[in-house]
Structure 1
Amino acid sequence: MRIRKLGVVGAGTMGGAIAALAASAGVPVVLLDLPGDDDRDGPARRGLERQLAARPAAFMDPDRARLIEIGNTEDHLERLASCDWVVEAIIEQVEPKRALYARLEQVLPETTIVTSNTSGIPMHQLLEGRSERFRRRFLGTHFFNPPRYLHLLELIPTSETDPEVLAAIESFGSRILGKGTVLARDVPGFIGNRIGVYGLLQAIRLMERFDLTIDEVDALTGPLIGRPRSATFRTADLSGLDVLRHVAIELSEATGEDFSLPGWVEALVEQGRLGEKSGIGFYRREGRDIFTLDWKTGEYHPRAEFRLPAIGQIKDLPLPERLRGVLALPDKYGDFMRTLFFTTAHYTLERAPEVAYDLVAVDRALEWGFGWDAGPFRQMDMIGAEALRAGFAELGLSEPELLQKAGERGFYSREDGTLHYLDFSGTYQPVPGISGTIALSGLKDAGKVLKSSKDASLIDLGDGVVLLEFHTKMNAIGEGILRMLNAGIKLVEQEGYAGLVIGNEDPRAFSAGANLGLILMLAREGGWDELELAVRQFQRATMSLRAAPFPVVVAAHGLTLGGGAEFLLHADHVQAAAELYTGLVEVGVGLIPAGGGTKELLFRFTQELAPYVEADPFEAVRRAFMLIGMAQTSTSALEARRMGFLRPGDRITMNRDRLIADAKAAVLALAPDYVPPVPGTIRALGREGLGNLRYAVWSMREAGQISDHDVEIGNALAYVLCGGDGPPREVTEQDILDLEREAFLKLLGTRKTQERIAHMLKTGKPLRN
């Protein structure tokens, strides 16, 4: 079954965002909503406009909005007949959904798949009156909001869903839309909301019981315990308090369990204080200032940073040690965290067999849908069965049957190098892999590490492909990584491997750039010979990617900045994750790119213009100057391609889990007839181009847009891009590399650049001095 076109009925928050995701992936979409009074297509049009204006952005490239055809459900329902999959995302009520399905059944061909994006209504309740044919091609597809950024897609088949239909949606959701899919049972709330919302409500109730503040609870339930920075209350604000209330009411009614919200939260909803969408909820933003709700009085006060000495002692430890440390916190904070952890763990153990087919799906649902570093069963293994039993006993809770089955072995167990999980019958089964992926942890366990240091490793990916993995903080590039790159290139050539992939599984960054701390230290100590040698080594490293007699593929994702972007720019091929935030951002710390980034953009853009005889060569210089001088960074791989960081032949992987596997495939595709590219030359513009750029810099200074030091940086960048201030001349790549290096070291020697670097290292923010 091939899905080529998507229909979405309902252009609200979720329907519009699903349409934006599909269009970003290159899939044509028909987006329908109820007819408007004056403009029949107005509701759908406004839904699309909301997605174009959404922050964070719903579209990976706004130009992809042209793939969405809008209409209304009275005049244009038949347009859905051209769609292979129709997603229903209308009001969360059973009867309107049933009425829509009755109409869809009249216009859709029997090959079209229909799914519901309901957040909690069981699928079988929606199928009353539908034919057997419709039932076989129907299931639930629950995206999490916002669909572009949250990885989870819950698939909820009924007992009548055709297995081929389920497989088609799983494949399309995973490969094309980039989702991590889990199979959920057809019960209220499915997996994510049933367990995740329970934990969130517990945190709110226990805050009242232990007399904590919202700021304190969010400090305790965020990154400290492996959860997102949005923690509890900021997450609720982002989702919408009205949405939270609706889900809570639905779960209470459908399960008979108590999911009710405290009265003061109900009051916030009645007052229209709905969170991010209304500008006020548990938090209120005024300009750059954030105010927090006092839940007792309903008033807001400046956000307070929560400090506790015991937290300072554990906050930088690995997650298992942090969890154990949090459960041992003193006074009411420890009481709160122990009660929250053990009540939520107990609920998860009791409900998991009801909502999921295996506990791996529960962990993945909470990790992918709620942003947890480790799902609940992995967390329970981190603190151990003995601690679980003691915690349950302290709260007067019984020992769940699933914990009894696990005994002391745990919910996960490694046997002969393979990770197993406890299934609900009490036996252990191999953890199911994710189709089309390569797990580096599994390769390491299998002894596939060829060479390793504290900064980087070389791993055998199989089929003749080697991976260079960074593992410094934020994968910052330093001498250790460059040494391992050199070793990797020698290994691949000498041992006859097919090629090299450079990538890693860090959820945040391919590489956030060079090691600024070391650079600043050497500059302050006057180690200029050492610094010049270091820059030369970095330049040789990036150029070695191009000169290697085998293909080098960079698997770029997340933050790919500065030196990381220079690795990307010099690879034979880039396999980029859809969420790619790349740019040459060195001017933010008072420098210019000196690892070949300035050179590469100049050569790339100049060579792109070469076939056009009448093209103005200054356009290539101007384009590179703007990208580097304004530190422009892509907000997606699609934008990176439009900006020029990715070439037309570089490919994009929608599903981050598949990135390493796709990069390996790219190496194998290039390897059979690979020949290294021939070094090129271009004609540098010299003083004519330099005069134009210097005038632009002067104009910006006159307008008060930049500082005197920005002028110095801009002029240094202009000098490199124009090949100096002489007459136009033919230059090699090495000529521009030499100018890069000289400009970098000269700027590094200034007090203001050193101040900028120090400020960035201390605060993470640029200094405009």
Structure 2
Amino acid sequence: MSQFNVRKVAVLGAGVMGAQIAAHLVNVKVPVVLFDLPAKEGDKNGIVRKAIDNLKKLKPAPLAVASDAELIEVANYDDDMKLLKGCDLIIEAIAERMDWKSDLYHKIAPFVNKNAILASNTSGLSITELSEALPEALRPRFCGIHFFNPPRYMCLVELIPTPTTQPDVLDKLESFVTTALGKGVVRAKDTPNFVANRIGTVGLLATMKEAEKFGLNFDVVDDLTGKRLGRASSGTFRTGDVVGLDTMAHVIKTLQDKLTPAADSFYDSFATPPVLAKLLELKNLGQKTGAGFYKKVGRDILRFDLASGDYVPAGAKGDEVYGRMLKRKAGERLKLLRDAEGPQGQFLWAILRDGFHYAAVHLADIAETARDVDQAMRWGFGMKQGPFELWQQAGWLDVAKMVQEDIDAGKALSKQPLPDWVFKGPVADAGGVHTEQGSWNPTSGQFEPRRQLPVYQRQLFPELLLGEGGPRFETAGKTLAETDAIRIWTLDDEVVIATLKTKMHIISPAAGEGLMQALDIAESGYQGLVVWPGEDPFSVGADLETMLKGFVAGGSDFVDSLEKELQDGIQRMRYAQVPVVAAIRGMALGGGCELAVHCARRVAIMESYIGLVEVGVGLVPGAGGLTYIARRAAENAANSTDKDLLHFLTEGFTAAAMAKVGTSALESRQLGYLQWSDVIVPNKDELLYVAISQAKALAQSGYRPPMKRLFPVAGRDGKATIQGQLVNMRDGGFISQHDFHIASLIAGVVTGGDVNPGTLVSEDYLLTLERRAFTSLLAHPKTQERMLGMLSTGKPVRN
């Protein structure tokens, strides 16, 4: 396969999806030009400019950094078609109208360069039918590309070929979407709603139908079908509000229009639910209109009641007995739900049974293998497990018999029996559809491995399905040392990897000792050390519970010694004789952030959330975070014609004092927690590969640790300036008295305390100030309230 070099992408259509696809391209630094119709009045690119302005207001934010909206090039179909010639990928994302898309294809065809790929972002229209509007020469380079909304955050992208699409085109596009955009790719067959929306929409309709049958309200259903069931926390109806009820209605209508009872025996269940029809009539389309299945009035959440046609109080929860059932092992769980006498248990079994039934009956129609279905539901619908994974985990033949018994008894949504391959042959013998050899393809009658594109060599430990063969990071490579807190290992005998095993990867005393052992091993003859979490998060910080218990048992002196040990360890990482690379995914908070910023380099996935958040538990950063802020301010000032240290210190101080967290790797770079030399990786599964490569590159370029040196601080004048601003915030009611006290301590450390402006200090001096501030706060009753509140509820206490 030749390399697909994407110099620029054109996105056609500045609607909700088109604009957000363009935004994500900007996030990953792919140049993009966004097209739409020329405005009838004023600026001819006014439609596109308005869409780009709207990107800055949307939540969740499509742009990792709002100001990057200016990087999206604007264009219209009248004046700018020549720009298409410089684009290697063209993504059409206009409204779901076959005639409109066909008309646009006729218009753009003469301007598509001879090597460019053209793809339609559609959620369900026939890709083959769309291709018929294209000239013969372009059809081999045309396919479907279905992003899920919102494109920045949703992992799934479905690629849909036509009979004339060149296989090499699919391979090139899959490679680009995977590594450059950071997505998980599923190849779908050209059938209505493809894979995820086909399974997901039928699941939604089944859920609504079964909820009506068992007399359950939206709020109860959402409580039962959210995290308790291993699905998106928003549940069923709340998810509909977020997606948009008009969008939901569209994908339902696609099933209604494109399928028949002969093609799909579940067709009778595809009718638009009465409650959805009523909400559409009222133009209550969900979150975008302020009302849908739910409506927020002040602080109250209301749910729509079809009988009265009005909104009534919401907030009901599922019966806890079913919550306990859902915590049981898979096989026991399903049997308990099936035998339950209450309507909530019967409902839960019914929707799971319906999901198993539909996925098995239509697997051959919509996807190549069972892997595609399970990955699509994980990545597109936020499920912890796809339907086949859960079925297999619960006992393949036992569940199959229960499902078939319900079908025979007329309890299922269709009378169609499960396929023969479910009960006999390789799947039955293997106990499921996912095996070490691959996943089941009912068309070929074989277990097929994953595609072996070169891009997947960068994924050392890809996300695996239950039962699927492949390397697991917990046991891969060669273990160099291991405790309950950490595994120290290597894949290639060149770079050491340290993976914390503590809950949320907290830096407990044992984890800290393990990191020092990892460094000892790395310095004994390896090229570098990579601190990689294996899975989210990177680290949520130091062990607060141990700190609090230590204070109770040994007082301030004991805590000071613990904190000194943590500081010394992190400083040792900074001055190690081999490069230490922090591989960040998910949250790097508090001590996790302090560990990361003191490494020689950071490699972070786009969705990394980095910050010093100790204020939330009534503390100050105490493991070197404030020292880092002061030192970086001095370094930045030294490299600027502006020598006023306070100008360079303000943002770092504010971020720490307000516990500000970068909501993306790009924003974390703006806050100073990532440097311009650090690497941002779009795909989480490529993180370790890139981090190891960075460690080797640093080592092979003659890496030497930084030399310790003195640096200037802002001193008492800088502290006084900051203190004046804090007084205004306190007196204005923006911060509490305890917040004021904590922020004042932070100001004292980052400015160097009671010294003259410009005084040269060492890191050790500032680290001592940090420890004093930290231990003094630990003795404060209000800080103890905050810490106990966080430990008991996981939420910050404001006092």
Q: Does 46-55 or 598-607 show the bigger shift?
A: 46-55
Deviation sequence 1:132-156 (CA, Å, 0-9, x none): 2110110011000000000011111
- Alpha-carbon distance, 1:323 to partner: 6.1
Q: When the two structures are superposed, what TM-score results if normalisation uses the length of structure 2? A: 0.92
The residue number in structure 1 matching 2:794 is 764
Structure 2 residue 190 is matched with structure 1 residue 186: yes
Partner of 2:610: helix, strand, or coil? strand
The residue number in structure 2 matching 1:659 is 687
Partner residue of 2:297 out of 286, 298, 301: 286
The residue number in structure 2 matching 1:411 is 432
The 3 A distance-change label for structure 1 pair 340 and 31 is same
The residue number in structure 1 matching 2:393 is 382
Q: Which runs of 5+ in 1 are unaligned?
A: none
Q: Does structure 1 retain, via aligned residues, the 8 Å contact 2:221–2:318?
A: no
Q: Does structure 1 retain, via aligned residues, the 8 Å contact 2:93–2:120?
A: yes
Deviation sequence 1:622-646 (CA, Å, 0-9, x none): 3322121121111111111111111
- Alpha-carbon distance, 1:278 to partner: 0.6
Paired AA for residue 291 in structure 2: I
Q: Does structure 2 retain, via aligned residues, the 8 Å contact 1:192–1:362?
A: yes
* Root-mean-square deviation (Å): 2.1
Paired AA for residue 554 in structure 1: A
Deviation sequence 1:520-569 (CA, Å, 0-9, x none): 33334554333222211211221121122111111112221111111111
The residue number in structure 2 matching 1:709 is 738
Partner residue of 1:723 out of 741, 752, 756: 752
What is the rounded CA distance, in whole Å, between the counterparts of 1:67 and 1:320 in structure 2?
Answer: 52
The residue number in structure 2 matching 1:260 is 271
- Alpha-carbon distance, 1:192 to partner: 0.8
Q: Where does 1:433-582 land on structure 2 (aligned, <5 Å)?
A: 434-439=456-461, 441-446=471-476, 448-462=478-492, 464-494=494-524, 496-507=525-536, 509-525=537-553, 527-582=555-610
What is the rounded CA distance, in whole Å, between the counterparts of 1:295 and 1:410 in structure 2?
Answer: 44
The 3 A distance-change label for structure 1 pair 9 and 611 is closer
Q: Where does 1:602-613 land on structure 2 (aligned, <5 Å)?
A: 602-612=630-640
What is the rounded CA distance, in whole Å, between the counterparts of 1:419 and 1:532 in structure 2?
Answer: 54
The residue number in structure 2 matching 1:27 is 30
Partner of 1:185: helix, strand, or coil? coil
- Alpha-carbon distance, 1:175 to partner: 1.4
Paired AA for residue 26 in structure 1: K
Partner residue of 2:18 out of 15, 31, 35: 15
- Alpha-carbon distance, 1:721 to partner: 1.4
The residue number in structure 2 matching 1:422 is 440
Q: Does structure 2 retain, via aligned residues, the 8 Å contact 1:102–1:130?
A: yes
Q: Does 470-479 or 190-199 show the bigger shift?
A: 470-479
The 3 A distance-change label for structure 1 pair 504 and 445 is same
Q: Does structure 1 retain, via aligned residues, the 8 Å contact 2:396–2:432?
A: no
The residue number in structure 2 matching 1:682 is 711
The residue number in structure 2 matching 1:364 is 375
What is the rounded CA distance, in whole Å, between the counterparts of 1:324 and 1:470 in structure 2?
Answer: 37
Aligned length: 764
The residue number in structure 2 matching 1:347 is 358
Paired AA for residue 32 in structure 1: F
Q: Which runs of 5+ in 2 are unaligned?
A: 409-416, 463-470
Structure 2 residue 204 is matched with structure 1 residue 200: yes
What is the rounded CA distance, in whole Å, between the counterparts of 2:794 and 2:658 in structure 1?
Answer: 18
Deviation sequence 1:488-532 (CA, Å, 0-9, x none): 1122223x222211122334x212222223333333455433322
The 3 A distance-change label for structure 1 pair 391 and 297 is farther
Partner of 1:677: helix, strand, or coil? coil
Q: Does structure 1 retain, via aligned residues, the 8 Å contact 2:626–2:750?
A: yes
The residue number in structure 1 matching 2:343 is 332
Q: Does 298-307 or 49-58 show the bigger shift?
A: 298-307
Partner of 1:462: helix, strand, or coil? coil
- Alpha-carbon distance, 1:619 to partner: 2.1
Structure 2 residue 421 is matched with structure 1 residue 402: yes
Partner residue of 1:243 out of 222, 247, 257: 247
Paired AA for residue 459 in structure 2: T
Partner of 1:511: helix, strand, or coil? coil
- Alpha-carbon distance, 1:279 to partner: 0.9
Paired AA for residue 573 in structure 2: L
State, as a whole percentage, how many aligned pairs show the same letter.
37
Q: Does structure 2 retain, via aligned residues, the 8 Å contact 1:283–1:292?
A: yes
Partner of 1:384: helix, strand, or coil? helix
Q: Does 459-468 or 711-720 show the bigger shift?
A: 459-468
Deviation sequence 1:35-64 (CA, Å, 0-9, x none): 332243232222222222110101111222
Q: Does 304-313 or 550-559 show the bigger shift?
A: 304-313
What is the rounded CA distance, in whole Å, between the counterparts of 1:429 and 1:627 in structure 2?
Answer: 50
The residue number in structure 1 matching 2:114 is 110
The 3 A distance-change label for structure 1 pair 740 and 275 is same
Partner of 2:118: helix, strand, or coil? strand
What is the rounded CA distance, in whole Å, between the counterparts of 1:520 and 1:466 in structure 2?
Answer: 33
Q: Does 606-615 or 242-251 show the bigger shift?
A: 606-615
Paired AA for residue 151 in structure 2: P
Q: When the two structures are superposed, what TM-score results if normalisation uses the length of structure 1? A: 0.95
- Alpha-carbon distance, 1:377 to partner: 1.5
Paired AA for residue 411 in structure 1: G
